[in-house]
Amino acid sequence: MSAGQRIRQLRRYRTIAAALARNGFGYVSDELGIVDKLAIFRVTERRDIRAKGVGERLRLMLEELGPTFVKLGQLASTRPDLIPPSILKELEHLQDQVPAFSFDEASRIVERELGAPLDEMFARFEETPLAAASIGQVHRATLRDGTEVAVKVQRPGISAQMETDLEILADLTRLAEHRLEWARQYRLRDMVEELAKALRAELDYGAEARNGERFARLSEKWPHVDVPDIHWDYCSRRVLTMDYIEGIKLSDRALLDAAGLPRRLLAERYAATIFEQALVEGFFHGDPHPGNVLALPDGRLALLDFGMVGRLTPSAKRNFAGFVIALRNQSTKGVLRAIGNMGAIPETADEERLYADIDEMREKYYKVPFDQISMGEAVQDLFAVAFRHQIRIPAELTLLGKSLLTMEGVVSALDPGFSVFDVAEPFGKKLLREQLSPSRIAMAWLEEAPEFADLIRDVPAGLKQWSSLVQKGRLRAEVELGNADSLTRKLSRIGNRLSFSIVLLALSIIMAGLIIGAALGHAETSIWRFPIIETGFVIAALMFGWLIFAIIRSGKF
């Protein structure tokens, strides 16, 4: 690390420590030793900050620390399996409000990234951005061929600033896991690394462009969905250019009604689009809030902003469908099995308590008509159980849960009487039929066939090797016992007692033989005037004492 980077990092440490202190978390700085890194540090708390809850204080601190921490907080709000509900609620209210940067800076970035003067690439490029966020801002422009486009430009210096922040966070989480029990318990470092990976992905506009292109291809299957085309000649890691689409936000009910757009139809199409993406394609929009989904004049929906997307493997789709099906079938064991398949249940989990919590969740939906169940509430119940028992659900499934919660909120606002499950049920049945179809099972077997072929091919060589080891007497068997230490102690104790008994018995027999022989033969028990019996007693006493001492010292008598 260069001297300049080190200085920037120390300054950032000071800023973080000050924000912690001002928002009532000064004790965290002390526990982590952040203040030890700073020569002079004196910051007072905000007035009345202690009257606020922990979640609100955390939100205020993240907003004070700027873009990196705001984005991490927003990403963390998608992990209800890791974050307590009270804090999660505050994280969802994080404000991503930052001033726009100047047009001169934006034009310099575009020209440097795309390698040409702005007026050579665009017939028009509006100076005032349409929107500004922590990572970048969007300008409306017109290409030389007359195509209306939206150009997303990354904020200057934001990548370096976020990398510095992420390095500091990695350092702090290592310290936290070393010093604090709760940090180790919740695997804080793994959590931050996961969020940092997602944030770095958002910094790469090239990845967002690839996501957009994939959605554009998929939209060809969806007659009611429009996705803007990506203009690759005008894209880079820090610049993204796509078709400009104008529409009405799904949250603006007044404009929707004025345009004559039926809200129930929009709700149905919106919900169907999310389920189609997740449960059929396994590739879904990770942030489908109303600002990223527009209603077009013809009733179609336009999807925007593909920086956050989710991918579901076939097994993840099966696990999620298994959870919904088991919940509907009132099967506690089925729900437990689905949760176990979704995430790793820690060895320390209280299985009886976990079963009871799942049974309580099942009871909540017992004999309730499926169309009256809130999917958002069911997902929240699932994540609440996962949080209580420290079951870490894979990020893609928690992102799906967050998307479904967002979707249900938008749908309820559009038409309070609309049931999400009316749309979801056909997709669930279709997924179940696909899983049980002979063709799908046969395809799965065919996919596994090469591995089985390799296994069968290796059997003769394995048998030959095994036979050779048997013939040479070199076959070794390793047995692993879960309670081996306890068993070893017991066997050692038995062995020591057995040895003691055998030695004592042998000495007794020898001494008895000598005494009886001497008595019967009326002979002296001495050789060359050496007292054999007396000597034997001395030797036996010494051996007995040594054996007792050795056993007592081993602690395994």
Residue 347 has pLDDT above 50, yes or no: yes
Task: Enumerate residues 6+ apart whose C-beta is below 8 A from 253.
Answer: 263, 413, 414
Residue 484 has pLDDT above 60, yes or no: no
Please tell me the CATH code under which domain 98-166+184-245 is placed.
3.30.200.20
Confidence class of residue 528 from pLDDT cuts 50, 70 and 90? very low
Task: Please state, in angstroms and rounded to a whole number, the distance separating the CA atoms of residues 241 and 150.
Answer: 6
**Of 397, 422, 393, 394, nearest to 408 (Cα)?**
422
Question: What residue spans define the domains of the chain?
Answer: 3-93+167-183, 98-166+184-245, 250-436, 438-477, 484-554
Residue 522 has pLDDT above 60, yes or no: no
For the CA atoms of the chain, what is the radius of gyration?
36
What residues pair up with 138 in beta bridges, in sequence order? 131, 152
Taking residues 216-227, report their average pLDDT: 91
User: Looking at per-residue confidence, does 95 or 163 come out higher?
Assistant: 163
Taking residues 231-251, report their average pLDDT: 94
Residue tagged active-site, from 287, 305, 357, 381: 287
Q: Which pair of structure tokens corresponds to residue 228? A: 């803007």
Confidence class of residue 552 from pLDDT cuts 50, 70 and 90? low
Residue 239 has pLDDT above 90, yes or no: yes
Diameter over CA atoms, the chain: 133
Per residue in 108-143, pLDDT (tens digit) is 999 999 999 999 999 999 999 998 888 899 999 999
- Catalytic site residue 36? no
User: Angle at Cα 461 formed by Cα 458 and Cα 464, nearest 5°?
Assistant: 145
Q: What is the mean pLDDT of the chain?
A: 79
Q: Which pair of structure tokens corresponds to residue 430? A: 């279709």
pLDDT score, position 302: 95
Residue 250 has pLDDT above 80, yes or no: yes
Residue 530 has pLDDT above 60, yes or no: no
Tell me, what amino acid is at 157? G
Taking residues 148-175, report their average pLDDT: 91
Pick the most confident of 241-250, 288-297, 313-322, 486-495: 241-250
Pick the most confident of 230-234, 269-273, 502-506: 230-234
User: Looking at per-residue confidence, does 321 or 506 come out higher?
Assistant: 321
- Give me the helices (H) in 365-483, please: 375-388, 395-414, 420-436, 438-472
Q: Among the listed ranges 199-208, 324-333, 449-458, which one has the minimum average pLDDT value?
A: 449-458
456: left (phi over 0), alpha (psi -120 to 50) or beta: alpha
Taking residues 543-557, report their average pLDDT: 61
For β-strands 530-531 and 248-249, DSSP reports them as unpaired
- Give me the helices (H) in 474-531, please: 484-521
Per residue in 176-192, pLDDT (tens digit) is 888 877 777 767 787 78
pLDDT score, position 46: 77
pLDDT score, position 44: 72
3 state DSSP class of 309:
strand
pLDDT score, position 443: 60
With contact defined as beta carbons under 8 Å apart, do 186 and 202 qualify?
no
Residue 517 has pLDDT above 50, yes or no: yes
Per residue in 277-291, pLDDT (tens digit) is 988 888 999 888 888
Pick the most confident of 70-79, 265-274, 359-368: 265-274
Total residue count of the chain as it appears in this document: 557
Residue 87 has pLDDT above 50, yes or no: yes
Residue 531 has pLDDT above 70, yes or no: no
